[in-house]
């Protein structure tokens, strides 16, 4: 069957698909594409979730942006030509930078952009705008895991092994990952471990993933929100105290085994039970099950995988570090069939963090503060290294400064919907409204685009060529199957058009040309793409970075011979539990936890426009425990009010014993009055600068009562 091979536009599983243009302008049909090895589409094993099956609908939604829009004197967004819109933006940028300096203009990227767009965005900020103010929404996604793996292993590749390796394990510990809803085809890789009773899930909810542990398939550790770190410290304590650790591995491959013992010595399971609510006996049972599968005990292998539930906390980096320490205690990282990994969420969440759209990074996953990195990248770009700005501010810190006296006066947003996805939305709305210039490039009029002064209509997945990097670090091709509608252009054309008007170097608009430059810029970096060519990918090669030369086969598995640290050893970083930043108090007695639904992706800007998905989950809701519902006297579907220190919202109750009595769960895919990020806390992790989306104190009352 012919067709155009590509990948789903949504999550980092990047399910392989084949597109077939149909007899309707701009429309395609999608079919899953499968092979049984990682040479093809192993991550989905022939499956697609409902989001993937219905993705073609987003190409032709009625309110698809098809022409640039510029806000007129009456305050309305009205159609404009590309030249008019680019001229307006360039003129305003020039005026603002002349008056306030280069950092008066900021750029905000997205983890769904192709590698080429992410690379061009970072270069555009540093070379054309000469601003330090660039960051992206990956800061809200996996930045805590990235920070933890960089400091432990010296490198951050979400899964340092092919996902298919997980299928052969004897035990898998999932900490804060609901992949049965976020990436359902990945569940096929858990069938083996479920069969042996080794699926261990840490989640405050009985999520779809947690329910996979039932009927003898594993253990659900239903911890109090914000206590994953204490739980993992206790699991490690059991492993060390019961003589289950791989002591030879610790001595040979880590820098400080004693630190591991010291940092977990006081976390006996009974203490952890008081903090987490998970029975001490369950903690011991889980630790022993995980250890039994470790290679040191002759097991089939064990994996520890983290998701946003562990990472989106003000202690997210330390929680992931505790998971890494547990993996080291069991001798897992770098062993075939075992390991630690982060389940990256956004479609190009991995590639998006490698090519320079982060505040502190240059392409190749290099530090912008490293003189050698600056010299190399400046050489590829043909600019003076001294002209490159230094590190900028992280996403929340950048947003909080928008429109202030010392902060940026203009913001260019590509591939991000801040008015749904950022924490403490009232403040975000105020900051965006205070800007002199807000520019948004998107495919639909998202909540953020509707606030903009200029809106650029851009291409989406089936309309463009490029590359993405999956959660495994595998570089894959996105291919165009159809012509984009109306005046739609690539984000690359925006960077090129503005750079030309600002008198900068020419920026290529051909993604293949951009990729060739990206290869050179990444050469010698941690994420080295220099040996990857589109021809090699098109020929069916499975190329996992680093690929340092064209003859190099790629690196499906990292750490077999050592870690990417100066001494080649994994670094044990001692960590300890601390409470959530906005903890329970007399006025707010429950924890608010946010998360995802099967039917929607991220801010919902795309999936809320798909009829089937919208019909299945059309509006926000709050899961509350029957005991809380009884105390309030509310039944299923009745409106309740949630109030936190940031604001309040009214939404229907969904009464279910799937949540703990101390927990309220609300999905975050909705905008306007349904946006739960009105309530979430922007307290930051001190290392990753991740905001604390996943836990804050909330008061629940019957709507209408004070
Ligand atoms: Fe696959 Fe994720 Fe797309 Fe679903 S959303 S089809 S799991 S890539």
User: How far apart are the CA of 651 and the centre of ligand 1, in A?
Assistant: 28
Same domain, 201 and 263: yes
User: How far apart are the CA of 667 and the centre of ligand 1, in A?
Assistant: 18
* 363 belongs to a structural domain: yes
Question: Which of 185, 350, 468, 597 best tests ligand 1's pocket when mutated (most atoms within 8 Å of CB)?
Answer: 185
User: How far apart are the CA of 183 and the centre of ligand 1, in A?
Assistant: 5
Same domain, 103 and 211: no
Q: Is 185 in the pocket of ligand 1 (CB under 6 A)?
A: yes
Q: Is 471 in the pocket of ligand 1 (CB under 6 A)?
A: no
Q: What is the dihedral of CA 209, 214, 219, 225, to 10 degrees?
A: 50
User: How far apart are the CA of 419 and the centre of ligand 1, in A?
Assistant: 24
Please, what sign has the CA dihedral across residues 128, 134, 136, 138? positive
Q: Is 48 in the pocket of ligand 1 (CB under 6 A)?
A: yes
**Number of DSSP helices (H) and strands (E) in the chain, helices first:** 22, 26
The single residue listed with the structure tokens 């767009």 is 117
User: What is the DSSP code (8-state) at residue 125?
Assistant: I
* 29 belongs to a structural domain: yes
Same domain, 247 and 335: yes
Same domain, 412 and 279: no
Q: How far is CA 518 from CA 388, 502, 634, in A?
A: 17, 22, 56
Q: Is 8 in the pocket of ligand 1 (CB under 6 A)?
A: yes
Q: How many domains does the chain have?
A: 4
User: What is the DSSP code (8-state) at residue 640?
Assistant: E
The answer to whether 113 touches 140, Cβ cutoff 8 Å, is no
Atom 1 of ligand 1, nearest CA residue? 15
Q: Is 183 in the pocket of ligand 1 (CB under 6 A)?
A: yes
* 572 belongs to a structural domain: no
Q: Is 212 in the pocket of ligand 1 (CB under 6 A)?
A: no
Q: Is 7 in the pocket of ligand 1 (CB under 6 A)?
A: no
Q: Using CA atoms, how far apart are residues 309 and 373, in angstroms rounded to an integer?
A: 33
Q: Is 260 in the pocket of ligand 1 (CB under 6 A)?
A: no
* 324 belongs to a structural domain: yes
Q: Is 44 in the pocket of ligand 1 (CB under 6 A)?
A: yes
Q: Is 49 in the pocket of ligand 1 (CB under 6 A)?
A: yes
User: How far apart are the CA of 15 and the centre of ligand 1, in A?
Assistant: 6
Q: Is 41 in the pocket of ligand 1 (CB under 6 A)?
A: no
Residues of the chain with pLDDT under 70: 1, 35-42, 705-706
Q: What is the pLDDT of residue 36?
A: 44
Which pair of tokens denotes residue 378?
Answer: 């400046």
Q: What is the CATH number for 171?
A: 3.40.228.10
Q: Exposure string (b/e) for 327-339, b if CB count within 10 Å is 16 or more? A: bbbbbbbbbebbb
Same domain, 307 and 232: yes
Q: Which atom of ligand 1 is nearest to the CA of 347?
A: 8
Q: Is 54 in the pocket of ligand 1 (CB under 6 A)?
A: no
- Give Cα 539 distance to the centre of its chain: 29
Q: Is 52 in the pocket of ligand 1 (CB under 6 A)?
A: yes
Same domain, 178 and 318: yes
The answer to whether 663 touches 588, Cβ cutoff 8 Å, is no
Long-range contacts: 561-569, Cβ < 8 Å, 24+? Answer: 561/334, 562/253, 562/334, 563/152, 563/153, 563/154, 563/155, 563/253, 563/333, 563/334, 564/153, 564/154, 564/155, 564/526, 565/153, 565/154, 565/255, 566/154, 567/255, 569/253, 569/254, 569/255
Q: Is 476 in the pocket of ligand 1 (CB under 6 A)?
A: no
Atom 4 of ligand 1, nearest CA residue? 49
Question: Which of 9, 49, 462, 602 best tests ligand 1's pocket when mutated (most atoms within 8 Å of CB)?
Answer: 49
Atom 3 of ligand 1, nearest CA residue? 52
User: How far apart are the CA of 348 and the centre of ligand 1, in A?
Assistant: 12
Q: Is 498 in the pocket of ligand 1 (CB under 6 A)?
A: no
* 597 belongs to a structural domain: yes
Q: Which atom of ligand 1 is nearest to the CA of 183?
A: 7
Q: What is the pLDDT of residue 706?
A: 53
Q: What is the pLDDT of residue 43?
A: 80
Q: Using CA atoms, how far apart are residues 431 and 440, in angstroms rounded to an integer?
A: 15
Which pair of tokens denotes residue 130?
Answer: 């000469």
Question: Which of 7, 12, 13, 16 best tests ligand 1's pocket when mutated (most atoms within 8 Å of CB)?
Answer: 13
Q: What is the CATH number for 610?
A: 2.40.40.20
Same domain, 324 and 225: yes
Question: Which of 6, 7, 10 best tests ligand 1's pocket when mutated (most atoms within 8 Å of CB)?
Answer: 10
Domain containing 111 equals 69-140+351-367+394-544
Atom 7 of ligand 1, nearest CA residue? 183
% helix, strand, coil for the chain, step of 5: 35, 20, 45
Q: What is the pLDDT of residue 35?
A: 59
* 563 belongs to a structural domain: no
pTM of the prediction?
0.96
Q: What is the CATH number for 462?
A: 3.40.50.740
* 632 belongs to a structural domain: yes
Q: How far is CA 526 from CA 324, 367, 389, 456, 553, in A?
A: 20, 10, 21, 33, 16
User: How far apart are the CA of 597 and the centre of ligand 1, in A?
Assistant: 13
Which pair of tokens denotes residue 464?
Answer: 């463009």
Q: Is 660 in the pocket of ligand 1 (CB under 6 A)?
A: no
Same domain, 612 and 698: yes
Atom 2 of ligand 1, nearest CA residue? 11
The answer to whether 160 touches 473, Cβ cutoff 8 Å, is yes
User: How far apart are the CA of 10 and the centre of ligand 1, in A?
Assistant: 6
Q: What is the pLDDT of residue 46?
A: 81
Same domain, 49 and 78: no
Residue 260: CA count within 13 A, CB half-sphere: 33
Q: Is 15 in the pocket of ligand 1 (CB under 6 A)?
A: yes
Rounded CA Rg of the chain: 24
Same domain, 127 and 204: no
Q: How far is CA 394 from CA 45, 108, 445, in A?
A: 37, 10, 26
DSSP SS3 for 553 = coil
* 651 belongs to a structural domain: yes
Closest CA to 668 of 183, 220, 158, 182: 182
Same domain, 159 and 295: yes
Same domain, 82 and 129: yes
Closest CA to 11 of 38, 47, 36: 47
Atom 6 of ligand 1, nearest CA residue? 52
* Most distant pair of Cα atoms in the chain: their distance: 73
Q: What is the CATH number for 13?
A: 2.20.25.90
User: How far apart are the CA of 252 and the centre of ligand 1, in A?
Assistant: 39
Dihedral class, residue 567 (left if φ above 0, else alpha if ψ from -120 to 50, else beta): alpha
């Amino acid at each position: 069957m012919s067709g155009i091979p590509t990948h789903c536009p949504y999550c980092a599983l990047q399910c392989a698909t084949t597109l077939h243009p149909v007899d309707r302008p701009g429309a395609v049909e999608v079919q899953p594409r499968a092979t049984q090895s990682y040479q093809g589409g192993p991550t989905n094993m022939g499956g697609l979730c409902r989001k993937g099956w219905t993705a073609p609908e987003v190409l032709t939604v009625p309110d698809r942006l098809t022409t640039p829009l510029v806000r007129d004197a009456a305050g309305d967004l009205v159609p404009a030509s590309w030249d008019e819109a680019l001229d307006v933006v360039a003129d305003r940028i020039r005026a603002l930078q002349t008056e306030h300096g280069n950092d008066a203009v900021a750029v905000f990227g997205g983890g769904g952009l192709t590698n080429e767009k992410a690379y061009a965005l970072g270069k555009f900020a540093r070379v054309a705008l000469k601003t330090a103010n660039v960051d992206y929404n990956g800061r809200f996604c996996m930045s805590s895991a990235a920070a933890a793996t960089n400091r432990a292993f010296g490198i951050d590749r979400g899964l340092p092994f092919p996902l298919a390796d997980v299928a052969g394990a004897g035990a898998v510990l999932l900490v804060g990952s609901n992949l049965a809803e976020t990436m359902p085809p990945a569940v096929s890789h858990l069938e083996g471990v479920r069969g042996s009773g080794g699926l261990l899930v840490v989640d405050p909810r009985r999520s779809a993933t947690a329910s996979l542990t039932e009927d003898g398939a594993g253990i659900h550790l239903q911890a109090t929100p914000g206590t994953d770190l204490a739980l993992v410290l206790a699991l490690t304590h059991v492993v060390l105290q019961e003589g289950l650790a791989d002591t030879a591995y610790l001595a040979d491959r880590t820098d400080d085994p004693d630190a591991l013992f010291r940092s977990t010595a006081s976390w006996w399971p009974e203490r952890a039970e008081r903090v987490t609510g998970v029975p001490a006996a369950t903690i011991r049972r889980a630790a022993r099950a995980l250890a039994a599968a470790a290679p040191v005990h002759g097991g089939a292998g064990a994996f520890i995988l983290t998701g946003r539930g562990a990472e989106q906390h003000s202690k997210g980096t330390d929680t992931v570090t505790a998971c890494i320490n547990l993996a080291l205690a069991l001798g897992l990282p770098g062993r075939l069939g075992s390991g630690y990994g982060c389940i990256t969420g956004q479609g190009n969440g991995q590639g998006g963090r490698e090519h320079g759209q982060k505040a502190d990074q240059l392409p190749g996953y290099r530090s912008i503060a490293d003189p050698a990195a600056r010299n190399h990248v400046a050489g590829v770009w043909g600019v003076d290294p001294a002209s490159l700005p230094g590190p900028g501010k992280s996403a929340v810190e950048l947003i909080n400064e928008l429109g202030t006296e010392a902060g940026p006066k203009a913001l260019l947003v590509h591939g991000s919907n801040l008015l749904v996805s950022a924490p403490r939305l009232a403040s975000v709305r105020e900051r965006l409204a205070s800007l002199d210039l807000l520019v948004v490039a998107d495919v639909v009029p998202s909540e953020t685009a509707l606030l903009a002064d200029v809106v650029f209509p851009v291409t989406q997945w089936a309309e463009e060529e490029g590359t993405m990097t999956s959660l495994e670090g595998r570089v894959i091709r996105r291919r165009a199957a159809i012509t984009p509608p109306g005046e739609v252009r690539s984000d690359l054309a925006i960077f090129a058009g503005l750079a030309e008007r600002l008198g900068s170097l020419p920026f290529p608009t051909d993604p293949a040309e951009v990729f060739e430059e990206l290869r050179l810029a990444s050469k010698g970096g941690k994420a080295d793409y220099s040996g990857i060519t589109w021809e090699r990918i098109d020929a069916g090669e499975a190329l996992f970075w680093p690929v340092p030369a064209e003859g190099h086969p790629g690196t499906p598995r990292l750490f077999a011979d050592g870690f990417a640290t100066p001494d080649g050893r994994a670094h044990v970083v001692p960590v300890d539990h601390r409470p959530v930043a906005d903890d329970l108090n007399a006025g707010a007695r429950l924890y608010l936890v946010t998360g995802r639904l099967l039917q929607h992706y991220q801010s919902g800007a795309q999936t809320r426009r798909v009829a089937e998905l919208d019909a299945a989950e059309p509006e926000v809701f709050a899961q509350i425990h029957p005991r809380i519902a009884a105390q309030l006297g509310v039944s299923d579907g009745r409106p309740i009010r949630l109030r936190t220190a940031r604001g309040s919202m009214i939404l229907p109750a969904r009464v279910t014993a799937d949540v703990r009595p101390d927990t309220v769960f609300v999905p975050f895919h909705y905008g306007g009055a349904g946006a739960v990020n009105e309530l979430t806390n922007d307290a930051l992790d001190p290392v990753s600068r991740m905001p604390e989306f996943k836990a804050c104190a909330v008061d629940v009352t019957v709507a209408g009562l004070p």
